[in-house]
Structure 1
Amino acid sequence: MDDLGAALRDWRDRLDPADAGLTRNGRRRAPGLRREELAVLAGISIDYVVRLEQGRASTPSAQVCGALARALQLADEESAHLLRLAGHAADPGRVPRLIPASVRRIGERLAGHPLAVYDATWCLLHWNPLFAATFGDPTGEREGTSLLLRHFTDGLPRIRFTPAQREAFEESLVSDLRSTTSRYPRDPDVASLVAELLTGPRFAELWDRRTVAGHESAHKVVEHPEIGDVELDSDTLTTQGSNLRVVVYTPRPGSDAAGKLELLAALGTQRMAPRV
Structure 2
Amino acid sequence: MDDLAGFLRTRRSRIDPASVGIPTDRHRRVEGLRREEVAHLSGVSVDYYVRLEQGRATQPSQQVLDALARVLGLDETERGHLRRLACQRPRRTRPSSGRIRPELLRVLDLVTDAPALIMDHRMDVLAANRLASALYGLPIPGLNTARHIFLEENERGLYADWDSCTLDVVGHLRLAAGKHPDDPRLASVIGELSMGSERFRRLWARADVRARGHGRKAFQHPLVGLLELHQENFALPDGSGQELLVLSATPGSPSEDGLRLLAGLGATSDHPRAAVTPRP
Counterpart residue type for residue 246 of structure 1: L
Residues in 2 aligned to 1:145 and 1:267: alpha-carbon distance in whole angstroms: 21
Match of 1:185 among 181, 185, 189: 181
Residues in 1 aligned to 2:97 and 2:216: alpha-carbon distance in whole angstroms: 27
Superimposed CA distance per residue, residues 190-217 of structure 1 (whole angstroms, 9 cap, x where no aligned partner): 1111112122221111112212222223
Shift of 1:101: 3.7
Aligned to 2:150: 152
Residues in 2 aligned to 1:103 and 1:178: alpha-carbon distance in whole angstroms: 27
Residues in 2 aligned to 1:155 and 1:136: alpha-carbon distance in whole angstroms: 12
Higher relative contact order (CA 8 A, sep 6+): 2
Residues in 1 aligned to 2:252 and 2:207: alpha-carbon distance in whole angstroms: 36
Q: 1:188 to 1:178 in 2, by over 3 A?
A: same
Residues in 2 aligned to 1:114 and 1:258: alpha-carbon distance in whole angstroms: 11
Shift of 1:238: 2.2
Counterpart residue type for residue 179 of structure 1: L
Shift of 1:175: 1.4
Tell me, yes or no, if structure 1 residue 98 matches structure 2 residue 99. yes
Shift of 1:113: 1.0
Aligned to 1:202: 199
Aligned to 1:173: 169
For the Cα contact (< 8 Å) 1:159–1:223, is it kept in 2? Answer: yes
Aligned to 2:19: none
Shift of 1:167: 3.4
Shift of 1:158: 5.5
Secondary structure of the residue aligned to 1:198 is: helix
Q: Mapping of 1:1-276 within 5 angstroms?
A: 92-95=93-96, 97-138=98-139, 144-155=142-153, 157=156, 159-161=158-160, 165-199=161-195, 200-240=197-237, 241-252=239-250, 255-268=253-266, 270=268
Residues in 2 aligned to 1:205 and 1:213: alpha-carbon distance in whole angstroms: 16
Residues in 2 aligned to 1:227 and 1:181: alpha-carbon distance in whole angstroms: 36
Unpaired stretches in structure 1, ≥5 consecutive residues: 1-90, 272-276
Superimposed CA distance per residue, residues 209-257 of structure 1 (whole angstroms, 9 cap, x where no aligned partner): 2122222234333333333322212222222311113211111467311
For the Cα contact (< 8 Å) 1:160–1:221, is it kept in 2? Answer: yes
Superimposed CA distance per residue, residues 128-176 of structure 1 (whole angstroms, 9 cap, x where no aligned partner): 111122321325xxx7452112211222656242xxx433322221111
For the Cα contact (< 8 Å) 2:111–2:129, is it kept in 1? Answer: no
Q: 1:145 to 1:113 in 2, by over 3 A?
A: closer
Counterpart residue type for residue 209 of structure 1: R
Range with greater deviation from structure 2 (233-242 or 101-110): 101-110
Residues in 1 aligned to 2:213 and 2:162: alpha-carbon distance in whole angstroms: 15
For the Cα contact (< 8 Å) 1:176–1:213, is it kept in 2? Answer: yes
Cα RMSD for the two superposed structures: 2.6
Q: 1:150 to 1:239 in 2, by over 3 A?
A: same
Aligned to 2:69: none
Aligned-pair identity in percent equals 26
Unpaired stretches in structure 2, ≥5 consecutive residues: 1-91, 270-280
Secondary structure of the residue aligned to 2:228 is: strand
For the Cα contact (< 8 Å) 2:93–2:182, is it kept in 1? Answer: no
